[in-house]
Structure 1
């Protein structure tokens, strides 16, 4: 089901680049770090919490059985690695021990993305995905962790400013954009100054250093790694800084090897438009008898573009919807991956044919989907403060309004069908802490880079660019679904085989598109 928040083109799991200039560090000795994990009882979760995490009622006992097997603890690390004896913080970790302890091959640290996403329960989440992904735990301990600034690890929270009230329907005006810019920039200033000592240390480089401390505390000679989305950037930074500490590494939906928020947004926006034109429009054309948009991708594209412009010129306020329908909603529908094609195509056809005062049924189903609410006691899934700080600490750009507005207008012009789904943002304007860069490097060792041929979250062209920067083997997934390797059994089999044997094929089919 498409949730309201999932209609946004640019997901919150934005991929960022590292803060500090690359310093290849020698492994920290046990005498310089915490000598052991401070193990403690794991949190207890209600059935309501588990259901909120997407655990089906009949699988709650399975989740609890895995939770009973899991170890929970913390590792102490310096807030600022330049001052190792200064302020200390804690990193919350979990360990799901290998089923076959006699044949155990080591530990795999897992990261689901971010920045700002917690990974405390990720070992269980991965185990619950399907039977093939569950085999990852056969001969490896799975290590989850909340990066600094998230979840059960040491964190701070600040509110980021933004314009009050819902946006005015129709195309964004320059005056409204300026209001957004001013509010966000002021919020960035206030947030960044609220605890600058802590916020300034929220960087991918420092998360990688924390991960090295976790390896030492666990007593592992090497630490293997499985990262998705931003986790691929974390993996690249970790192996660049600690090449002697890394075992096997698999990176799914690979980040670009260099970063600016602007180029990142440009790359993803272009991939969304390309995916609509080459994939969704062609699919709708092949189902002309059902949707009636035309028999060629070109006809479908022209029809949907006309729908975007029509609803922008004359937004509709249906009596049973709490928000108006304009071209932005049409663009968001056109931006979805292949799992949603039948539903969004039906919604587009309903909008084209709509004449009444009440919303078409599929449109209402999509727009009125209740937002996800975490019940009391649920682990934090995303820390917006950590996300903002990590992105802005790692991107030196601080656009003024004229530049930000011009970039937004150019993005709309380059992506006429799906561009209206793009939200205007001030980005890191006003962020008071400096942004610096990291350089990646080839380090040798076992590495697989999984790129998804048609996806928009991490466009496929980023995979060969990352390979040129850090090496490794390309593994091509023939789908358009971000981070789907563990979710498709055939691909999960390849991933588990890689961690077990060190060998892997050249790719897998991925999640099949709608028929």
Structure 2
């Protein structure tokens, strides 16, 4: 009981301690961008000791296109975790009305990029395996992955930046966001976050409900964030989303020759994965094939590229680029920061046998991808989280708009519905009958897009949850 009391007291101090002034921001041109401005905000490493060690958080700003229409600041996070955010304001496909109305501000989260970036001194192979361990065919494969995960964790927890690890959490990043708000000189900020950024936004508006204005959460994680169960849920998301690609490829069988029916395209997936597992081609093995497919089905616009690569692999032709190199590059930019948050936020199972059981269970439940997402990660050998998670609740004003695709492969609808339930009267949810990860702007559903834009620009908060039917071209 004493231990619980001490933890509760420490957490109360974290949340309620009066922040030291972050000071005004000094802006200068961001390297490589003609329109973005960059600055930094100095924040406590440990918010339990706000006068102790400090770190700098790198911040960027895209000023409102029409200053006369500017209504405030829209803080954003592009997801991840572990993804740098400085270039996000120009990369995000916000409609012009949003760009006219807001200074769009983003940042490299703590532990990432220019914000006290973590280092684990990983080899290229370790960087690839850090977030994407090899596909396990049997319990022995899980045990091999465990040895690799243990070594990655050891290098991270003994590296030059290991002292940062206890403080690389979503809650602390949310506290950094409030320091950014303060430094911007505004009493409230609006927020847009996608994927992992939804959990960050949920934590921020839970910790600081009186300081959030209009909050849009796009493609939401469950209320517990990105933990072992959220990762396993991506196998369900894959199974729900893949039929969209299978229908696309089947309709173009004369071009790609992957199968004239969705069932035949699905069979081709297993055939290619098995063949590449036995004999990799063009730098592609079974793990890379599954991971690349998982990434490409997140967006309808990527279906053409995915079908092309499948066709080239199926006919033993060289890949342009190659896709394997593209996948490795995408993964290689973030895995250390990814692990910092993924492992620092949640307590993961520590028994190898637990992962072996999970792999065999999910291989049956979700045969296309389940064994892959259930495999062991370095989080199994990470230090225990420094503080309990922030519990998402209904406490606060009704200012959270959730937008969600019906068939999201990365943050499936069931987890998003649980977050919607946790917010209670604070939230409204707009769900569109479309597939893909990230709904607003990236999708073609005008009903959903218009609802999000109307809220951000005009403050039109839906009276109730809404379902948007599919829009046929």
Q: Deviation digits for residues 343-402 of structure 1, max 9, x if unmatched?
A: 5446556666x4xxxx236xx34755643899xxxxx99443332121111111232222
Residue in structure 2 matching 1:453, options 406, 415, 423: 406
Q: Give the TM-score normalised by the residue count of structure 2.
A: 0.81
Q: Give the 5 Å matches for 1:198-277.
A: 198-259=164-225, 261-276=227-242
Q: CA RMSD in A?
A: 3.7
The structure-2 alpha-carbon separation of the partners of 1:498 and 1:87, relative to structure 1 and needing over 3 Å to count, comes to same
The answer for unaligned runs of 5 or more in structure 2 is 1-9
**Contact 1:113–1:229 (CA under 8 A) maintained in structure 2:** yes
**Contact 2:234–2:373 (CA under 8 A) maintained in structure 1:** no
| Aligned residue number for residue 189 of structure 1 | 154
| Aligned residue number for residue 6 of structure 1 | none
Which protein has the bigger helix share? 2
Residue in structure 2 matching 1:311, options 275, 289, 305: 275
Q: Deviation digits for residues 202-238 of structure 1, max 9, x if unmatched?
A: 1111111111111112110111111111111011000
The structure-2 alpha-carbon separation of the partners of 1:420 and 1:201, relative to structure 1 and needing over 3 Å to count, comes to closer
The structure-2 alpha-carbon separation of the partners of 1:24 and 1:135, relative to structure 1 and needing over 3 Å to count, comes to farther
**Distance (whole Å) between structure 1 residues aligned to residue 168 and residue 294 of structure 2:** 35
| Aligned residue number for residue 9 of structure 1 | none
Q: Give the 5 Å matches for 1:422-433.
A: 422=373, 424-433=375-384
Give the drift of 1:434.
Answer: 3.2
| Aligned residue number for residue 53 of structure 1 | none
**Distance (whole Å) between structure 1 residues aligned to residue 135 and residue 145 of structure 2:** 16
The structure-2 alpha-carbon separation of the partners of 1:260 and 1:501, relative to structure 1 and needing over 3 Å to count, comes to closer
Residue in structure 2 matching 1:501, options 445, 458, 468: 458
Q: Give the 5 Å matches for 1:315-330.
A: 315-316=278-279, 321-323=282-284, 326=286, 329=289
Q: Give the 5 Å matches for 1:351-500.
A: 354=315, 359-360=316-317, 364-365=319-320, 367-368=322-323, 370-371=325-326, 382-419=333-370, 422=373, 424-434=375-385, 436-442=388-394, 443-470=396-423, 471-488=426-443, 490=446, 492-500=449-457
**Distance (whole Å) between structure 2 residues aligned to residue 335 and residue 402 of structure 1:** 29
| Aligned residue number for residue 94 of structure 1 | 60
Work out which structure has the larger RCO, using CA pairs closer than 8 Å and 6 or more positions apart in sequence.
Answer: 1
| Aligned residue number for residue 46 of structure 2 | 80
The structure-2 alpha-carbon separation of the partners of 1:334 and 1:142, relative to structure 1 and needing over 3 Å to count, comes to closer
**Contact 2:134–2:145 (CA under 8 A) maintained in structure 1:** no
The structure-2 alpha-carbon separation of the partners of 1:336 and 1:214, relative to structure 1 and needing over 3 Å to count, comes to closer
Q: Deviation digits for residues 68-121 of structure 1, max 9, x if unmatched?
A: xx3x22222111111111111122212222233333211110111122111112
**Contact 2:136–2:372 (CA under 8 A) maintained in structure 1:** no
The structure-2 alpha-carbon separation of the partners of 1:344 and 1:191, relative to structure 1 and needing over 3 Å to count, comes to closer
Look up the SS of the partner of 2:57 in the other structure: strand
| Aligned residue number for residue 4 of structure 2 | none
**Distance (whole Å) between structure 2 residues aligned to residue 151 and residue 395 of structure 1:** 22
Look up the SS of the partner of 2:210 in the other structure: helix
**Contact 2:153–2:378 (CA under 8 A) maintained in structure 1:** no
**Distance (whole Å) between structure 2 residues aligned to residue 508 and residue 315 of structure 1:** 44
Q: Give the TM-score normalised by the residue count of structure 1.
A: 0.75
Number of positions where the alignment pairs a residue of Structure 1 with one of Structure 2: 448
**Distance (whole Å) between structure 2 residues aligned to residue 224 and residue 166 of structure 1:** 35
Q: Deviation digits for residues 464-511 of structure 1, max 9, x if unmatched?
A: 21111113111223322212413357455543322121115646678x
